[in-house]
Structure 1
Amino acid sequence: MNRYIFFIFLLLSCQNAINIDTKPPETVNADNNKKYNEYYKRAQQLINVRNDSAFYYLYEFTENTNDTLLLAYATIQMGAIQNDAGDYLGSIESLLKGIPFLDEKNAEHQEYLSSIYNELAISCKNLKHFDEAIRYFNLAIQYSNDSTNRLIRLNNLAVAYKDTKLFQKAINIYDSIITSHQAPPVEFARVLSNLAYTKWLQNKSYNAKPELQEALQIRRQINDQWGIQSSYSHLADYYLSTNADSAFTYANKMLSLSRELYSPANETKALEKLISLAPSDRSKSYFTRYQFLNDSLQTASNTAKNQFALIRYETEKSKTQNLVLQKDNAEKNTRLVINQAVIFVLVLLSVISYFWYRKRKQQALQKQQLKTSQKVHDVVANGLYRIMTKIEHQPDLEPELILDDLEELYEQSRNISYEDFTKNTQKTDDEITQLLKSFSTDTRKISIVGKISDTWNKLNTTQQTELRFVLEEIMINMKKHSGANYITIRFEDNHHQVKIQYIDDGCGLAPGQKYGNGLNNTVSRINSIGGQITFDSSFSQGLKILLIIPIP
């Protein structure tokens, strides 16, 4: 059985010519990647020979081209290949990909839009979504500038109306095509046969025989084999209830011709008719053949759908791998920049330390030593630690942003040796929010409660500067020592005082634990602006810190 299914799949791959009624653009855009230009040319060679391989090259081309017209044409071919193989949903997905690249106001683009909408309508009709099919056929007609193509799309629209039993609408369209005298013989015969068949469906007493026979005669004269097959189908249906022998004759002719044309889908339609018309001894063999073909077609269709999906998956997978490789290279470059920046900072800090030493010798040694140590800790160490935190938790951080932070740290470091360095350390309420949020990670959540702007802007410059260093020191101490996962920072004021409450779920402070230099600095800074700071680790878990600063 498997070898028969494989045979049917081969028929599905090449049984019907994939005819695109819109001509392709004449040239491939020279600006395209040469490799993908070759993909497009290779696809054109494989159309109707190995449609699965043609689909692969077309898909690769559409993912990498910048030629809008060729991209649109390639999506039309992809949709037609999938339609022919029974992958109607995949066909719709491919066709929709081409629409955004076309300008409906550009006359050169309109015929491609028409072809896309026509193929979309065919997919929807095959899925029995007739309302959508009618809508797309109308759009195809609207954008068609070619008289022959327009007649084909009008015929398709009429067939959709016929399938939804809107017979009069279908008949009106067929009549307009017939009376226009513009249809070439192959289209005239198609419309004439469809018109007669639709009139008969509307009124079973209508004598459709002369028109059906005329259409068949025209098709024989121009050797339109696929059209002849359609005429046989219409005639078999027409005679089904009035002349069983004639119906059987035409159904049998349809069966023979479908086998000559290697058309399993049309063979199944012929077998359906013969099952009800043939004697019981022959009907069984027809049914057996019909069941085999129907199952094989379904299996082959599912195989084709999976094959197209696999082609898309493999292409997307390759693209993702390339992006990952590019990302790795970018990360290596970033690490190189960071290493250079760290060396620069270390050298800079060495130079600054030398000048600090000379400055300290001119003043009271103990007082200046304490004061300078505090500045170095808050400005340089905390600043550098904050930058390291960013780099650690934001691997995609752009080198320019790191250099900006280092430049800011550099400017702050230059002014450490002067008494007034608030100009470089003062921060706005938005920057304070960013400072606090910068310590957030995938496993550490930071919540800020209250509007910082309502409280922050009520403090003077000195208070803002000192409070900024206090908050930064608390967050750094939390990251280094607490192991906290959830941190809440609440800002509020009562017109006289600003209150800031910090709570985390970390390990807290052990009873009698002595503060290090960092926390001692926070106490000293809060006291210097007339505020109060309270450390409380008496509740169940974590640490609570309350800051109270008077409003000037």
Structure 2
Amino acid sequence: MKQYDSLQLFNTQLLHAAILKKNPFHIGKHYSLKGVYYKEVTGDQNSAFYYFNQSKNYFLQIGDNGQVGKALLNMALIQQNFSDFFGSKETITESLQYLIRAQKTKYIASAYSVLATNHRKLLNYEDAIKYYNKAIEITDSEKDRFVYLNNLSAIYIDHKKYKKAIQGFKTILNNSLANKCVKNKARAIDNMAYAKWLSTQIDVENEFQKALNIRLKNKDLRGQIASYTHLAEFFANKDSKAAKKWIDKALIVSKKSNNPKAELDALKLLIKLAPLNLPIKNRYIILQDSLYKQELTVKTQFAKIKYDDKLKQEEILKLKNQKAKQETETAKQKAHKTIFLSSGIIILLIGCFVIYFLKQRYKREKIQETYKTETRISKKVHDELANDIYNVMIQLEDENKPELLNKIEDIYSRTRDISRENSSIDTGQNYPEELSDMLSSYTPIDTMLIVKGFDHINWEKISGEKKVTLYRVLQELMTNMKKHSQAKLVAITFSKSFKLIKINYSDNGRGITEKAINYRNGLYNAENRIKTIGGSFIFDSETENGFKAEIQIPN
């Protein structure tokens, strides 16, 4: 008893720890141990059934099929002990589903044995035989196989197949385990004697007595009741006094072991011996009614526990489904919001891209239009104005007016410069050569031009608009140098990075003051040109310290 008290203490500690850690497995174990305590120690089978059912639910949460199957197996055994054979059959069938999934061979065999016993009690002998054979076939335990074979042979007695029963008991008694499992050995001896007597009516008193002696020696009360009952039946038709003696012994042991079913069976046999004995009949009726009410009450309680549990599980499932539905709905709403937001962002990005594209197109069109205008002006200046001035110069040569002729020649030269500065630019394969020629042509004879990194630039990957802009800006710088700075050295360095092309210009000319810069539209035009293609133009100059400029354009 102290061991069971220690078990209760340990079990309570286990529950507290499991609840703190929210561990369904250990909570399930707690309820399982509690079920064992009520089943084996207190005898409160109703509480045991309840706690086994509770343990099953916790093991279901974590999908532990083996533990679920074992809990249901214990519940089925309790139902069977209270003659709830239909309920037990239903529960053990459910248990088998989980045990088979978990491949728990030992418990699968036990479940088949319980199922077979239910069929036996319901007089379904063929099914009982089938499931006992399954239990015998599947078990790995020789001891359990010994018990199942004993049960199978006993069914053959119920089924009036005495030869098969006797053969089964002989097999048991010839097994080496017979001397180790004395209870099962005594049972086999007693049942084999009973089968022999039922089939041939031969004298088997000594065999009955042999089995009884083993049971008395081992204090096997259930076995003693069976022996006393068989001896009473054996003497019933030839020695009623001896038969009554054995029945009385069966009644004493039944009451001693608190086994009302065995007492009822003994009273039933006693009524056959003394049919006019009213006190015995009354005791039989009262006990039968009491057992019936008790079994009915327990069956109802078992059914209620299972029904309430079913409703609870359905409610849990309903709540889970509602939660899942809500989560799905929330996910849908979130997805809709995400789609709406994404669509808005995409539309915004498309809008930004369209605006950017239109701006870039406008810039390109503006650059192209400027370039066309410059080219048209250049052509017109060259074809019309320059030619007209040239003709006037020829006419004036004959009139010998050198001063006027020099002025007109200067105008002609400037006109040709304007034409050249605004002439068309080849932006194709010849662009590098044309740019290089322009730089050289704008360099005075007494000025040194140094160009670095020119060949490192992949000119084919640069757009036509950028080429024209760069050409015009460098042309403006060279023009500024030629006309104003009187530089003796000009350095232009080309370099590139992943995103940019950089051009550094510097000369050692007179430079220019900030005030003077304000009047140099050419430099501001150059800056605006570079900004139009997304680049930058920075210049720095002081009087007598030369002129520097840094140009950056997107690569």
Bin the TM-score by the shorter chain. Answer: 0.5 to 0.7
Distance in structure 2 (CA, Å) of the matches to 1:291 and 1:266: 14
Residue of structure 2 in register with 1:51 after alignment: 45
Conserved 8 A contact 1:117-1:137: yes
Residue of structure 2 in register with 1:68 after alignment: 65
1:303 to 287, 297, 305: 297
Distance in structure 1 (CA, Å) of the matches to 2:70 and 2:328: 42
- Summarize the alignment of residues 267-306 of structure 1 with structure 2, pairs less than 5 Å apart: 267-278=263-274, 280=276, 283-306=277-300
- Per-residue deviation, residues 434-471 of structure 1 (Å, max 9, x unmatched): xxxxxxxxxxxxxxxxxxxxxxxxxxxxxxxxxxxxxx
* Bigger-Rg structure (1/2): 2
Q: CA 1:245–1:44 in structure 2 vs 1: closer, same or farther (change >3 Å)?
A: same
Q: CA 1:96–1:279 in structure 2 vs 1: closer, same or farther (change >3 Å)?
A: closer
- Summarize the alignment of residues 472-511 of structure 1 with structure 2, pairs less than 5 Å apart: none
Report the alpha carbon displacement of residue 322 of structure 1 after superposing the two structures with TM: 2.1
Conserved 8 A contact 1:275-1:284: no
- Counterpart of 2:36 in structure 1: which amino acid? Q
1:91 to 88, 98, 102: 88
Conserved 8 A contact 1:104-1:110: no
Conserved 8 A contact 1:155-1:173: yes
Conserved 8 A contact 2:52-2:71: yes
Conserved 8 A contact 1:248-1:278: no
Q: CA 1:121–1:337 in structure 2 vs 1: closer, same or farther (change >3 Å)?
A: closer
What TM-score, normalized by structure 1, do the two folds share? Answer: 0.54
Distance in structure 2 (CA, Å) of the matches to 1:327 and 1:273: 58
What TM-score, normalized by structure 2, do the two folds share? Answer: 0.54
Distance in structure 2 (CA, Å) of the matches to 1:33 and 1:222: 39
- Per-residue deviation, residues 142-196 of structure 1 (Å, max 9, x unmatched): 1122222211111100110010100000000111112224212211111111111
- Summarize the alignment of residues 430-449 of structure 1 with structure 2, pairs less than 5 Å apart: none
Counterpart of 2:140 in 1: which secondary structure? coil
Conserved 8 A contact 2:166-2:196: yes
Indicate the percent of aligned positions where both proteins have the same amino acid.
29
Counterpart of 1:207 in 2: which secondary structure? coil
1:231 to 217, 227, 234: 227
- Counterpart of 2:205 in structure 1: which amino acid? K
Q: CA 1:335–1:140 in structure 2 vs 1: closer, same or farther (change >3 Å)?
A: closer
- Per-residue deviation, residues 349-407 of structure 1 (Å, max 9, x unmatched): 99989x99xx9xxxxxxxxxxxxxxxxxxxxxxxxxxxxxxxxxxxxxxxxxxxxxxxx
The answer as to 2:241 corresponding to 1:245 is: yes
Report the alpha carbon displacement of residue 338 of structure 1 after superposing the two structures with TM: 5.4
- Counterpart of 1:139 in structure 2: which amino acid? K
Distance in structure 1 (CA, Å) of the matches to 2:232 and 2:73: 34
- Summarize the alignment of residues 119-518 of structure 1 with structure 2, pairs less than 5 Å apart: 119-183=114-178, 184-204=181-201, 206-278=202-274, 280=276, 283-337=277-331
Report the alpha carbon displacement of residue 115 of structure 1 after superposing the two structures with TM: 0.8
Conserved 8 A contact 1:32-1:67: no
Distance in structure 2 (CA, Å) of the matches to 1:233 and 1:328: 60
- Per-residue deviation, residues 3-46 of structure 1 (Å, max 9, x unmatched): xxxxxxxxxxxxxxxxxxxxxxxxx9x98543323222222222
- Counterpart of 1:144 in structure 2: which amino acid? T
Distance in structure 2 (CA, Å) of the matches to 1:110 and 1:124: 21
Residue of structure 1 in register with 2:454 after alignment: none
1:80 to 57, 77, 80: 77
- Counterpart of 1:121 in structure 2: which amino acid? A
Answer 1 or 2: which has greater helix percent.
2
Distance in structure 1 (CA, Å) of the matches to 2:115 and 2:267: 29
Distance in structure 1 (CA, Å) of the matches to 2:339 and 2:135: 66
Distance in structure 2 (CA, Å) of the matches to 1:67 and 1:339: 36
Report the alpha carbon displacement of residue 104 of structure 1 after superposing the two structures with TM: 9.3
- Taking CA–CA contacts closer than 8 Å with sequence separation of 6 or more, which of the two structures ends up with the larger relative contact order? 1
Distance in structure 2 (CA, Å) of the matches to 1:31 and 1:330: 23
Report the alpha carbon displacement of residue 62 of structure 1 after superposing the two structures with TM: 2.4
Please, what is the CA RMSD of the aligned residues?
Answer: 3.0
Distance in structure 2 (CA, Å) of the matches to 1:289 and 1:69: 45
The answer as to 2:103 corresponding to 1:111 is: no
Distance in structure 2 (CA, Å) of the matches to 1:298 and 1:100: 31
Moved more, 132-141 or 256-265: 256-265
- Counterpart of 1:216 in structure 2: which amino acid? L
Counterpart of 2:258 in 1: which secondary structure? coil
Q: CA 1:352–1:292 in structure 2 vs 1: closer, same or farther (change >3 Å)?
A: same
Counterpart of 1:93 in 2: which secondary structure? helix
Conserved 8 A contact 1:232-1:254: yes
Counterpart of 1:128 in 2: which secondary structure? coil
